[in-house]
Amino acid sequence: MAQAEDIVRIGLLGAGNVGAQVARTLVEERELISARVGTPVKLIGVAVRDPEAPRDWKIPGELLTTDAEALVDEADLIVELIGGYEPAGALIERALRRGAAVVTGNKALLATRGAELDAIAAETGAVLRYEASVGGAIPILRPIEESLSGDRITKVMGIVNGTTNYILDQMDTTGAAFGDALAEAQKLGYAEADPTADVEGHDAAAKAAILGTLAFHAPFTLDEVYCEGISQVTADDIEAAAASGYVIKLLAIAEKHDDGAVLRVHPTLLPRTHPLASVRGAFNAVFVVAENAGELMFYGQGAGGKPTSSAIMGDVVATARRLRASVAETPTVPAGAHLPALPIERATTQYYIDMQVADREGVIAEIAQVLADHHVSIESMRQPGSVSVEGEVESGESLGAQVQIVTHLALEKDLDATVKQLKSLDVVKSVTSVLRVEVEK
């Protein structure tokens, strides 16, 4: 393995939705990834079924191969993104048996043969990691395995399938029947042509088995998970639930009892105030309850090539770090790293400005001009003092009026200059508040 040499040679199996993004990162970001690992990494080959097939990112021809086995025998670290049971299972086993590290997102395989593959890895000292198999981009397995390793997890409960969450969401918001929502999801690419694995809960059940295994430190397999899908959920169910303040979600639940664990996947009513109730569309979220930590929630994109590739690459970097013989740890902050801390004037955010102004014509125009002069554009403006509850504007009063502005993204420096000039205007009596606003991200 890499101990002998100075470079970590990576072999990628599969270049579909996720694999193509991993190939892109390993090629385009090779320097960054090598720096993160602390030793150079190199993508030495990409095994696919059809080298001519079009891909989301064009893979250099010399990397493509159809001989997956030869690639497995060459690499220090294998990234398996073919999916399904075979040939993925045999290829992973082959890699582990020769002591090569394996990173995969293959939940179906892990939920059936996970313990067996772990045992092979333990035998040869190989590393097997699979963060991407549950919750796409969401770091959930590593937090369970490491951050919570000194605690007792009692329950894990998550929305771990984006397809069913999208369908239930559509049914909830539009009143659509299951069949119509499914057809819509298929049209938009959120559901596969054969939606069985998602709709009947099998995909979520595989994830429940993986979550239960890591949370409770004992192996559980797919066939031990009680599984009910969403195909029986009717528009009436959703409507009745909504009328009582509930929303229906497909949850994967792993629950510890004194003498074992119950693993289950089924449509579940959640009060609309529950943190999981507002998880929409293709987003995933996993709730974890532990004795000391209490309630935790992890939220993010549950699928998609790019998000999933982030989880794969995290495993690749962490695993590659471990393959180095000499240094115990690659520091997150390399020695001598420097990035300037920029002054607040360089911040770009939205702003809320609340001011008292003279209540006469032309005031708004004058204020707007000041903002425009400083390249600060206005997202919204309100005059709460002069608008009655019925929405009628009562202008022309002699008392001052209130004006509230929310700007678009602006530079703090420009905002400062804007506020300074606003304060100097005759028509502005006072600037009561200037606050920053974060809308999304």
Ligand X SMILES: NC(=O)c1ccc[n+]([C@@H]2O[C@H](COP(=O)([O-])OP(=O)(O)OC[C@H]3O[C@@H](n4cnc5c(N)ncnc54)[C@H](OP(=O)(O)O)[C@@H]3O)[C@@H](O)[C@H]2O)c1
Residue 389 binding its own copies, by CB under 8 A: no
Burial of 292 (0-12, 13-18, 19+ CB in 10 A): exposed
Collapsing DSSP states into helix, strand and coil, what is residue 63?
A: helix
- List 52, 292, 392, 398, residue binding its own copies (CB under 8 A): 292
- List 15, 300, 414, 431, residue binding its own copies (CB under 8 A): 300
17 binds, among its own copies, ligand X, none (CB under 5 to 8 A by kind): ligand X
Integer-rounded Cα Rg, in Å, for the chain is 27
- Min separation Cβ 193 and its own copies, Å: 26
* DSSP structural state of residue 393: B
15 binds, among its own copies, ligand X, none (CB under 5 to 8 A by kind): ligand X
Which of 107, 187, 207, 420 is an active site residue?
A: 207
Closer CB to its own copies, 61 or 336, in the complex: 336
296 to 43, 153, 204, 278, 290: CA distances (angstroms): 37, 11, 20, 16, 8
- List 49, 382, 423, 436, residue binding ligand X (CB under 6 A): 49
Closer CB to ligand X, 53 or 297, in the complex: 53
Exposure string for 300-317, b = 16+ CB within 10 A, e = fewer = bbbbbbbbbbbbbbbbbb
Residue 219 binding ligand X, by CB under 6 A: no
Q: Which two tokens stand for residue 83?
A: 């999916």
436 binds, among its own copies, ligand X, none (CB under 5 to 8 A by kind): its own copies
Burial of 3 (0-12, 13-18, 19+ CB in 10 A): exposed
Q: For the window 153-192, what string marks contact with its own copies as x by the rule CB under 8 A? A: --x-x-----------------------------------
Q: Give Cα 194 distance to the centre of its chain.
A: 25
- List 83, 201, 314, 400, residue binding ligand X (CB under 6 A): 83
Which residues are within 8 A (CB) of 392 and not within 5 positions of it... i.e. 6 or more apart?
none
Residues serving a catalytic function are 207
The residues that touch ligand X, with contacts defined as CB under 6 A, are: 13-19, 47-50, 53, 68, 81-83, 87, 105-107, 132, 136, 303-304, 308
